[in-house]
Amino acid sequence: KFARRRATELKHGRVSMLACIGYITPEFFKMPGYLSPSQNVNFADIPNGLAAISKVPSAGWAQIAAWCAFCEVSQKQAPGTPAYAGDFGFKAIPDSNVYNSADPAQRRKKLNAELANGRLAMVAIIGMFFQDGLTGSAWGDWDLYTASPLRAFESELGVQAPVGFWDPAGFCFDGDGAKFARRRATELKHGRVSMLACIGYITPEFFKMPGYLSPSQNVNFADIPNGLAAISKVPSAG
């Protein structure tokens, strides 16, 4: 089961890497000429991203589906076959082909890199879909997208539960501009404190002040551990 799931993960990662490239390329380059001469549709007429789904002629989608089916059935992918492990015989650069590398360490490094990049691409393409669906572009400007549900006020339909929240203290009372402004200021303050806290957590991993933290107790800055362990080590006066 692990081998099958790893093969599936690898396949989905490769598809996602191609999908990311396919999402980015039309932003800079489109094929010249006709996509469908019979329907008088040029490649340049097709919008980028999800908007292209409804613009590509049905015959184009049929060709894509047929090609995917051919790729699936043209290789024996039973356990134990090269294709099952991801080797489909494509050797664009034979001398540096990953699967034929004479150096086991180099081969493992490249295969691990492919797996990691595939995982990243799976997350990336989902992010592109999400942002494209909300803003109309995979690189949409959220400042210009005022219709986002992420900007909805709490009294808007669908943002709050149909029967409201159990809130006897009135913390989530709708439509109170003054309370909303106060909570926004509180949120901003907590966010700033959290950003400083993150920096304070990371910095001691790379740098600590020289000298004494407490000369009277003979405690140097370098003696203080990182993270939560520092709580019990810092002198009470500190």
Binding site, annotated residues for chlorophyll a: 9, 12, 39, 114, 117, 119, 131
Cβ proximity of 226 and 206 under 8 Å = no
CA atoms within 13 Å, Cβ hemisphere of 159? 13
The H helix count followed by the E strand count for the chain is 4, 4
Q: Locate 62 and state its tokens.
A: 């049929």
Find where tokens 């549709």 sit: 41
Strand-pair partners of 219:
214
For residue 55, give the nearest of 65, 40, 67 by alpha carbon: 40
Distance, CA of 132 to CA of 141 (rounded, Å): 10
For residue 82, give the nearest of 95, 92, 91, 69 by alpha carbon: 91
Cβ proximity of 16 and 126 under 8 Å = no
Distance, CA of 70 to CA of 63 (rounded, Å): 10
For residue 201, give the nearest of 169, 236, 229 by alpha carbon: 229
Binding-site residues from annotation: 9, 12, 14, 39, 72, 114, 117, 119, 131
Taking every pair of Cα atoms in the chain, the longest distance, rounded to a whole number of angstroms, is 89
Binding-site residues from annotation for chlorophyll b: 14, 72
